[in-house]
Amino acid sequence: MKQKLFTNSINRSLMIAVVAMLAMGACKSKKKAAQPAPPAPVEQVQQPAPPPAPVSSAEEVAVGKLENYFNSVANASNAAMANQTIQEALAMFSNQETPVLIVIHEENGIKDYDEPTTIKKYLEYLKDTKKNLNYISDIRMDANGKVSELELRRK
């Protein structure tokens, strides 16, 4: 009987301790909920410095000019105008035999090219077909600022 009484008192003590812990935990969370949140620190909003004016690289400028030349050759009203535009465009290249690669397919970073051609032949092709179906996807320039290789893709 003494052991049963002892066990009951331990069980009661444990039960009281558990209830007390829960009550204290609830009080703390109520206390935390009742306290207002500390005010957020006021940050001074600084006006960001305006970004510098975009500087076009030589490659970007060359791409813009070449796209215009390609469209001009394809849309020329007569052969004389197309030939004049071709001569102007050729001045941007290191020589008339500068390679022009046309990507016809790319998968997993591996590119398949159409038969390589030269810039002279490509410009003549534009003049003959009167269609500019490609855009410049990569351009390489030599030390003199002339185009040394051109990679095109379908629009």
pLDDT attached to residue 94:
96
In three-state form (DSSP H/G/I as H, E/B as E, the rest C), the secondary structure along 53-89 is CCCCCHHHHHHHHHHHHHHHHHCCCCHHHHHHHHHHH
Do 145 and 69 belong to one domain? yes
For the chain, the average pLDDT equals 82
The pLDDT of residue 58: 86
Global pTM value: 0.64
CA 51/CA 68 separation, integer angstroms:
28
Out of 25-29, 99-103, 128-132, which region has the weakest mean confidence (pLDDT)?
25-29
Round to whole Å and give the CA distance between 23 and 87: 91
Please tell me which residue, 32 or 109, carries the higher pLDDT value.
109
Q: Which residues contact 71 (CB under 8 A, 6 or more apart)?
A: 132
Domain membership of residue 43 (yes or no) is no
Task: Give the model's pLDDT for residue 25.
Answer: 64
pLDDT at site 96 = 95
**50-74 pLDDT per residue, tens:** 555 454 688 999 999 999 999 999 9
The range of the structural domain enclosing residue 21 comes to: 1-31
* Number of domains the chain is built from: 2
Residue 44 lies in a domain: no
**% of the chain surpassing 70 pLDDT:** 67
* Burial of residue 139 (number of CB atoms within 10 Å: 0-12, 13-18, 19+): middle
38 domain-assigned: no
- CA dist 101 and 150 (Å) reads 6
For residues 77 and 150, state if they share a domain.
yes
Looking at residue 127, its pLDDT comes to 97
How high is the pLDDT of residue 16?
Answer: 76
Which of 32-36, 71-75, 77-81, 144-148 is predicted least confidently? Answer: 32-36
Is residue 36, in this structure, part of any structural domain at all? no
Per-residue pLDDT tens digits for 83-100: 999 999 999 999 999 999
Q: What is the pLDDT at residue 43?
A: 59
Share of the chain above pLDDT 90, in %: 60
